[in-house]
Structure 1
Amino acid sequence: MKKKLTAASTQQLDNLLDQVRRCTICADHLPLGPRPVIQAASSAKLLIIGQAPGLRVHESGIPWHDPSGDRLRRWLDIDPETFYDPRQIAIMPMGLCYPGKGKSGDLPPRPECAPQWHPHVLPLLPEVGMTLLIGQYAQQRYLPDSPKTLTDTVRQWRNWAPRYIPMPHPSPRNTLWLKKNPWFEEEVVPYIREYVHQLLEGQDPSS
């Protein structure tokens, strides 16, 4: 049963987001310092949970403001204006700050982050009708009984749809994965796109 959206809950979320954006819980581990990146409003219909901001997003403070975001918006078939409207789309990665570079790409999201903030933010997003779980870190947290590999988890997406949809990361690094697994863009993307568009248009996709 959805929690009723009220002015009080909206204010509660706004106050919480102020706290989130001032968070320094893992500052000692962040090479560029903390800059939490989050987008949310109590009226949001879609929630996107990815991994952690990359360097470009850290510099701009704008979530998915990079080539990965371009591909994600193409998958969803929505324009930047809609994507960056917190009243419609909430964005809360597993790690809210840029974790720094590793040997083969960015480091994993800081493990302190999601347990610290997700349980407080999620109850204040009562209108969310679909959550996109992008990458293994989000899938392991929210789909604890999922297969060990990302490919197998995404292949079994119907097990959790429409509440949760496991997805590969839209990074250009995953272009080869997408070529090897064409079923994702042929089957899963159209389902997500149609469902999300109905949600954002105020329709009930389940009816």
Structure 2
Amino acid sequence: MENTLDQLSRDARGCRICADHLALGPRPVFQVHTNARILVAGQAPGTKVHASGVPFDDASGDRLRDWMGINRDVFYDAKRVAILPMGFCYPGRGRSGDLPPRPECAPKWRQAMLELMPNLHLTLVIGAYAKDWHLPELKAVSLTEAVKQFEGQLPDALLLPHPSPRNNIWLKKNDWFEERVLPTLQARVAEILGAKHQA
């Protein structure tokens, strides 16, 4: 099974299906392993991640790791944490920030990779595009209201706002997130990975 995922990963890293639409060209960024126990389902890489080729290698990643209560070593251990954005490549800039993940990516690669990671115990669903894929029953619900329903998503999933610094205003307006959701998130991560793996 691992060889199959390895082959799929190699194929995905060579993907050029969206090449004509990517201002910086294709550079798929993701992290998978058949033994992974937690899936981080993000949106798409930003420019810094595109440059480094390392997922969440930016301020958003620092905040996400803090939210999870784990350090970089644990986060980048593919046998523990898989990182699979809705779009593998940086989609480019729009009028008010980065463009949405390219729509071709998820149908081409996502389900096939998920089926080869049978040990996942928790999916961290980050942002609206990941919500619509992983929690389709909440598609008509606003992101804020859906995050408030976090207890109904457990133990298998947990919806989070994007950890980007651009969401600082949202976080200040919704202090219940830090008070109620983050302790639950950290406890679930610790339960899955073991307390010894915490930051």
When normalised by structure 1's length, the TM-score is: 0.92
Tell me by how many angstroms 1:148 deviates: 2.8
Q: Which secondary structure state, in structure 2, belongs to the residue aligned with residue 145 of structure 1?
A: helix
Matches within 5 A, 1:48-197: 48-146=40-138, 147-197=140-190
* Alpha-carbon separation, structure 2, partners of 1:177 and 1:201: 31
Q: Which secondary structure state, in structure 2, belongs to the residue aligned with residue 132 of structure 1?
A: strand
* Alpha-carbon separation, structure 2, partners of 1:104 and 1:169: 15
Q: Which moved more, 1:155-164 or 1:38-47?
A: 155-164
Partner residue, 2:33: 41
Tell me by how many angstroms 1:149 deviates: 1.0
Q: What amino acid is the match of 1:21?
A: R
The CA RMSD over aligned residues, in Å, is 1.3
When normalised by structure 2's length, the TM-score is: 0.95
Q: Identity across aligned pairs (percent)?
A: 52
* Alpha-carbon separation, structure 2, partners of 1:37 and 1:127: 21
- The one-character-per-residue Cα deviations of 1:32-70 (angstroms, maximum 9, x if unpaired) are 110000101111110000100000000000000000000
* Alpha-carbon separation, structure 2, partners of 1:100 and 1:154: 27
Tell me by how many angstroms 1:162 deviates: 1.6
Q: What amino acid is the match of 1:154?
A: V
* Alpha-carbon separation, structure 2, partners of 1:139 and 1:158: 15
Q: What amino acid is the match of 1:144?
A: P
Gaps (5+ residues) in structure 1?
A: 1-8, 203-207
Tell me by how many angstroms 1:145 deviates: 1.8
